């Protein structure tokens, strides 16, 4: 039963509402199956009560929006009317105040269909959204618009737009020109959307700075390290080329994190990145690094993720190194294991002990506190500390030679432990830390380091500066071991070498003592929560002056040639893992808005690779049309596989478009409808 309702409108804005030759009202009539007649500023609406209520709400919202200064085009109004007709819970006010947005200030964007609105809302609310449907439904354009909005509102730090280059067979080398020339034509639709939304000059600058990156999927995945790069695992170092899915590597929190993707990249140009503490790693130009600049720290901004090539030739500013890399936030967690010698005691003996294989071990120090600590640490070995001189103590078994026989002699348990650790007979230049202490709990590693620093190390103070820790040794192997300990605990080490030849000799007992071995001087910084000294006099100085903050900056980046490479993805939330010399590196796409367009042309492996590269703080949109798959016959689409595998995950949303969502020529809708009506062939 039809009702009639008269609605009075303010005279201002009637022309906008009616449109040219009343086209807007006529369109609204056709959508809601009612009649609208106008006399002056009074409208008479005749139709079903529900439809009349919808018109009342539209006119009420229009009046409010118009009075607030909102501008409308005829097309925008008709798009809004269409969506309200499809979804009566939707309103004109929502359309122009919530759904419509202006990404860059150049052009307003609004959904033209209910599915487009659902798509926009899904992208805003979810970290991963799939938009699936025919061409011309606005999937790519709306995704790019939301990416631009996220970038300009600083929700993300970069935009990455990518497509699988199936038409070129993922082999772009045969096309003319450089890489940019090769991929530009194929990626032109994404460029067009960008330039439609943002001023040309601005887009060009962002492309040059790689704030916006456009690349085919095969090139985007190539953030890689060489196969001989070392990765830290819970059981020690392993080469990149040996890593498999399911293995564990160590993340930024010192804990194990699972490798969830391994992707060989073939031969690529690689660069060596050298840090201010002497550590170095090798990676390709596109490899990712999490860094902070002085400006980031001053403005309390989060770390940014940059490619190797973005930092080439600009890693210094005003005589300061620009890019600071993160250090592990907690010591690396190795499995705890029992040790033959108490760890702190081992450190003391490596520092001031004589570990001769011919006589009983001895310990040389003028510090009674260290003697007491060593006696306490070796208490279970029933040793006698026989004072041989003012500063020299022989560590022997007082029962040796008594009560035993050649079949069951009384042994020196300390010598036995040193022999088991292969330390017996080592000298100053050949001492080392056995692996059972290096790859052990943080408590064990700290104790060994404290023993070494209490003997051969110490705090170094300078006026108006924090205290640094200095350690020296003539053993190159022990030097490397100490560097390992410090870095595994989250600290930094700088090393310099003092050549023995030509150095001024020492003087003892009335004669010169010449240097027989080069020495290594280590400058150490440790995290605040790790105490480097147990010896009270050293600990007091260190605590009084403060230990400073360990920091590692990129010092140099140099091209070194080509090498076979591989990239991995890890399960850690921040996407970081430890590579050579405890350098934290990054191999997923964090703080980015990533759009994978034409995803129906990905293989299952490519889709998995892409999805497992999503990093912390990123938003991802995947678009595709499963009716236009260009993969070789018999090869399944990665988009269809993702539909099947991921449908049950609540945090992922799939939005499906149909012919009603086509916003191109009306003929395109008819074409899409005709194809969809045909019987589907088996994949």
**Among 101-105, 319-323, 336-340, which range has the highest average pLDDT?**
336-340
Confidence (pLDDT) at 176: 43
Q: What is the percent of the chain with per-residue pLDDT over 70, rounded to a whole number?
A: 89
Q: What local confidence, expressed as pLDDT, does residue 183 receive? A: 46
Q: What is the pLDDT of residue 177?
A: 44
Q: How confident is the model at residue 162 (pLDDT cuts 50, 70, 90)?
A: confident
The SS3 assignment for 566 reads strand
pLDDT-based confidence at 400, cuts 50/70/90?
low
Does residue 59 sit in the same domain as residue 173? no
Q: Do 599 and 575 share a structural domain?
A: no
Q: Give the pLDDT confidence score for residue 218 in this predicted structure.
A: 61
| Position 403 in a domain | yes
Lowest-confidence region among 170-179, 204-213, 235-244, 302-311: 170-179
pLDDT given at position 605: 82
Contacts by 90-94 with C-beta closer than 8 Å and gap 24+?
90/114, 90/117, 91/57, 91/58, 91/61, 92/57, 92/58, 92/61, 92/62, 92/65, 93/61, 93/64, 93/65
**Rounded mean pLDDT, 433-442:** 97
CA 216/CA 304 separation, integer angstroms:
23
Maximum average pLDDT range among 405-409, 538-542, 632-636: 538-542
More confident residue, 183 or 571: 571
Q: What is the mean pLDDT of residues 445-473?
A: 92
Look at residue 1 in the predicted model and tell me its pLDDT.
Answer: 55
Domain shared by 574 and 523, yes or no: no
Q: Is the pLDDT of residue 404 over 80?
A: no
* CATH (domain of 396): 3.10.28.10
Residue 173's pLDDT band (cuts 50, 70, 90): very low
Which of 66, 100, 134 terminates a domain? The answer is 100
pLDDT given for residue 379 in this prediction: 93
Q: Is residue 70 part of a domain?
A: yes
Stated pTM of the model: 0.70
In this predicted structure, what is the pLDDT of residue 18? Answer: 82
Domain edge (last residue) among 68, 100, 132: 100
What was the pLDDT predicted at 172? 41
Looking at residue 175, what is its pLDDT? Answer: 40
Average pLDDT over residues 308-326: 89
What average pLDDT does the segment 46-73 reach? 84
CATH for 92: 3.30.1370.10
Whether 337 is covered by a domain: the verdict is no
- Residues 365-369: contacts with CB under 8 Å, at least 24 apart: 365/391, 365/393, 365/455, 366/390, 366/391, 367/535, 369/535, 369/536
Confidence band for 624, pLDDT divided at 50, 70 and 90: very high
Length of the chain: 683
Higher pLDDT residue, 654 or 681?
A: 654
Q: Are residues 319 and 249 in the same domain?
A: yes
89 and 113 inside one domain: no
**Do residue 143 and residue 248 come from a single domain?**
no
Owning domain of residue 256:
224-325+563-586
- Percent of the chain with pLDDT strictly greater than 90: 44
- pLDDT > 80? residue 610: yes
Distance CA 420, CA 352 (A): 20
315 and 380 assigned to the same domain: no
Q: What is the pLDDT of residues 540-561, one digit of tens each?
A: 999 988 888 899 999 999 999 9
Number of domains in the chain: 4
pLDDT band of 16, cuts 50, 70, 90: confident
Looking at 9-13, 359-363, 598-602, which range is the least confident one?
A: 9-13
**Residue 336 domain-assigned?**
no
Q: What is the CATH number of the domain that holds 296?
A: 2.170.16.10
- Please report the pLDDT score of residue 355 as a whole number: 94
- Give the model's pLDDT for residue 402: 55
Domain boundary among 100, 125, 156: 100
CA distance 275 to 283: 14
**490 and 440 co-located in one domain:** yes
Would you say residue 305 lies in a domain?
yes
The predicted pLDDT at position 181 comes to 47
Mean pLDDT of 243-249: 94
CATH of the domain at 118: 3.40.50.300
**Residues 458 and 358 both lie in one domain:** yes
What does the pLDDT read at residue 588? 67
- Low-confidence winner among 155-169, 301-315, 442-456 (lowest mean pLDDT): 155-169
3-state secondary structure of 370: helix
Is residue 365 in a domain? yes
Predicted confidence (pLDDT) at residue 407 exceeds the cutoff of 70: no
Nearest CA to 134 among 582, 662, 602, 581? 662
- Pair 373, 490 in one domain: yes
Provide mean pLDDT across the span 369-374.
Answer: 96
Question: How far is the C-alpha of 235 from the C-alpha of 334, rounded, in Å?
Answer: 7
Q: What average pLDDT does the chain have?
A: 86
Q: Is residue 301 part of a domain?
A: yes
Q: How far apart are CA 420 and CA 450, in angstroms?
A: 22
When comparing pLDDT for 547 and 165, which is higher? 547
**pLDDT at 180 exceeding the cut of 60:** no
* Residue 338 placed within a domain: no
Mean pLDDT, rounded, for 142-146: 93
Q: How confident is the model at residue 272 (pLDDT cuts 50, 70, 90)?
A: very high
For residue 248, the SS3 value is: strand
Q: How buried is 320 (Cβ within 10 angstroms: 0-12 exposed, 13-18 middle, 19+ buried)?
A: exposed
Is 182 found in the same domain as 119?
yes
Q: Nearest Cα to 594, choosing from 619, 625, 623?
A: 619
Same structural domain, 17 and 29: yes
């Amino acid at each position: 039963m039809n009702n009639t309702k008269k609605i009075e409108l303010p005279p201002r804005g009637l022309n906008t509402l009616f449109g040219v030759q009343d086209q807007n009202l006529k369109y609204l009539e056709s959508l809601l199956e009612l009649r609208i007649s106008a006399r002056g500023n009074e409208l008479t609406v005749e139709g079903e009560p529900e439809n009349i209520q919808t018109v009342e709400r539209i006119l009420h919202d229009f009046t409010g929006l118009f009075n607030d200064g909102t501008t409308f085009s005829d097309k925008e109004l008709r798009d809004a009317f269409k969506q309200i007709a499809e979804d009566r819970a939707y309103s004109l006010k929502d359309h122009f105040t919530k759904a419509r947005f202006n990404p860059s200030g150049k052009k307003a964007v609004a959904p033209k269909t209910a599915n487009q609105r659902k798509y926009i809302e899904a992208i805003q609310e979810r970290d991963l959204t799939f938009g699936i449907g025919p061409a011309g439904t606005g999937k790519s354009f709306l995704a790019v618009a939301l990416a631009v909005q996220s970038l300009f509102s600083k929700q993300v730090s970069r935009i990455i737009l990518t497509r699988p280059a199936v038409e070129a067979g993922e082999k772009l080398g045969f096309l003319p020109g450089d890489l940019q020339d090769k991929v530009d034509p194929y990626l032109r639709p994404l460029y067009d959307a960008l330039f439609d939304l943002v001023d040309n000059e601005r887009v060009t600058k962002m492309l040059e700075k790689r704030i916006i990156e456009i690349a085919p999927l095969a090139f985007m995945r190539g953030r890689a390290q060489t196969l001989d790069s070392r990765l830290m695992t819970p059981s020690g170092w392993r080469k990149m080329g040996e890593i498999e899915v399911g293995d564990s590597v160590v993340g930024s929190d010192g804990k194990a994190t699972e490798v969830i993707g391994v992707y060989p990249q073939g031969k690529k140009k690689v660069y060596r990145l050298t840090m201010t503490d002497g550590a170095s790693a090798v990676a390709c130009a596109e490899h990712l690094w999490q860094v902070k600049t002085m400006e980031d720290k001053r403005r309390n901004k989060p770390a940014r993720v940059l490619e190797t090539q973005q930092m080439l030739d600009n890693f210094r500013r005003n005589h300061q190194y620009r890019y600071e890399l993160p250090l592990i936030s907690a010591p690396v967690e190795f499995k705890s294991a029992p040790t033959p010698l108490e760890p702190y005691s081992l450190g003391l003996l490596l520092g001031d002990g004589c570990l001769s294989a011919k006589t009983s071990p001895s310990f040389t120090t003028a510090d009674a506190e260290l003697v007491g600590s060593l006696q306490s640490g070796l208490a279970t070995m029933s040793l006698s500390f026989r004072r041989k001189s003012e500063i020299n103590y022989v560590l022997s078994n007082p029962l040796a030679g008594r009560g035993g026989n050649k079949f069951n002699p009384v042994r020196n348990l300390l010598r036995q432990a040193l022999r088991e650790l292969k330390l017996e007979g080592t000298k100053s230049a050949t001492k080392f830390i056995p692996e059972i202490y290096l790859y052990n709990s943080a408590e064990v590693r700290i104790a060994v380091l404290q023993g070494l620093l209490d003997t051969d190390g110490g705090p170094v103070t300078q006026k108006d500066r924090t205290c640094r820790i200095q350690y020296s040794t003539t053993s190159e192997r022990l030097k490397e071991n100490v560097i390992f300990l410090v870095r595994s605990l989250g600290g930094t080490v700088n090393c310099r070498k003092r050549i023995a030849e030509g150095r001024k000799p020492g003087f003892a007992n009335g004669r010169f003592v010449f240097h027989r071995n080069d020495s290594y001087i280590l400058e150490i910084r440790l995290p605040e929560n790790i105490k480097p000294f147990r010896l009270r006099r050293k600990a007091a100085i260190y605590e009084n002056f403060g230990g400073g903050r360990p920091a590692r900056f990129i010092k140099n980046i140099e091209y070194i040639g080509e090498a076979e490479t591989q990239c991995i993805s890890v399960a850690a939330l921040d996407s970081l893992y430890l590579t050579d010399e405890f350098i934290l590196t990054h191999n997923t796409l964090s703080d980015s808005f990533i759009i994978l367009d034409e995803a129906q042309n990905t293989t299952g492996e490519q889709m998995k690779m892409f999805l497992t590269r999503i990093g912390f703080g990123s938003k991802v949109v995947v678009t595709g049309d499963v009716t236009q798959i260009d993969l070789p016959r018999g090869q399944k689409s990665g988009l269809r596989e993702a539909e099947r595998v991921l449908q049950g995950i609540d945090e992922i949303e799939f939005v499906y478009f149909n012919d009603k969502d086509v916003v191109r020529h009306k003929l395109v809708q008819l074409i899409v409808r005709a194809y969809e009506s045909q019987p589907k062939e088996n994949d």
